[in-house]
Structure 1
C-alpha cells in the first residue's frame, strides 16, 4: 500500500515494477545484475480521485506518455531494493507536487517613499555620469 495522503492511497498492484539492467559504468556488476527499475503507473486506470488524475494528466512532463502512463526509470543505486524505493518515492513526490494548489498572487503597488527613493537614486546616478563627461573651459 502506497500512502499519498491521509485519505488517498494506492494499492501495490496498480504500480508495475520491472527489473532491467542499468546503463553506464559499473564493471561486471552492470552486465550480470538487473538492478535498475522501470516503474509504470497507468494514471487513467488507477484508483486515484478524479482531481488527482486530472492534475497529473495536465502536467507537462516527459515521463507521462500520451496514453496516460507514468514511466520512471530508477538506476541511481547498486541494489534493486533501493532503486524500487527511489522510483516509488519519485512517483509519490510527482503526484503530491501536481495536486498542490498555489496561492493566488495579490497585486501590490510600491509605496510613495519607495518610489521617491528610486527616483532620487536615479537622479544621483545620472549626476555621477554627467560629472564623468568632458569639462568645458
Structure 2
C-alpha cells in the first residue's frame, strides 16, 4: 500500500510500470538502458471513493486514457530508480490535490451599500451616454 494521506492509501496492484529508452542526457547509456518510466494507475482497480475519482479524472486531463488509466511518464533523470521515484511523486501529488474537497460556496445577498454603488455607477454611465448622443430636431 502506498500512503497518500492519513486516511487514504493506494493499492500497489492498481499500478503498473513499463520502462522505455529516454532521449536526452546520458551519453552511451541512453542507447543501451531503458531509464524512462511510464507509470499507469488503473482507476477501476484503485478502489477510490466516487467523488475523489471524479476530481482526479478532472485533474488528470490529457493523462487520462479512454480505458480509465492515468499515465505518467518520467524521463528527467539518468537513472531508472530516480525516474520511478519522480513518477510516483507526481502521481501522489495529483491524488493529494484531488483528495482536497472544494469548499461549497454559500450564496449571499449583496449589501445595501453595494447595491446603491452599482445603481449610482449605472446612472452615471447612462448620463454620459445621453450627453454623447446627437439630438436631431425636425
Fold-level match, TM-score > 0.5? Answer: yes
**Alpha-carbon distance between aligned partners in 2 of 1:129 and 1:45, rounded to the nearest angstrom:** 63
Q: Which runs of 5+ in 1 are unaligned?
A: none
Q: Contact 1:17–1:38 (CA<8 Å) still a contact in 2?
A: yes
Give matches, 1:4-19, under 5 Å: 4-10=4-10, 14-19=14-19
Moved more, 122-131 or 106-115: 122-131
Deviations 1:85-115 (A, max 9, x none): 2211121122223332222211112112111
Give matches, 1:1-137, under 5 Å: 2-10=2-10, 14-23=14-23, 30-46=30-46, 48=47, 50-51=48-49, 55-56=52-53, 59-60=57-58, 61-134=61-134
What is the RMSD of the two structures over their aligned residues, measured on CA atoms? 3.3
Rate the CA distance shift 1:44–1:34 in 2: closer, same or farther, 3 A.
same
The structure with the greater share of residues assigned to helix is 2
**Normalized against structure 1, the TM-score is what?**
0.69
Deviations 1:35-88 (A, max 9, x none): 321012233334x5x52x673267244433344433211223444333222211
**Normalized against structure 2, the TM-score is what?**
0.69
Rate the CA distance shift 1:27–1:100 in 2: closer, same or farther, 3 A.
closer
Moved more, 115-124 or 29-38: 29-38
Rate the CA distance shift 1:27–1:128 in 2: closer, same or farther, 3 A.
farther
Q: Contact 2:26–2:78 (CA<8 Å) still a contact in 1?
A: no
Rate the CA distance shift 1:119–1:83 in 2: closer, same or farther, 3 A.
same
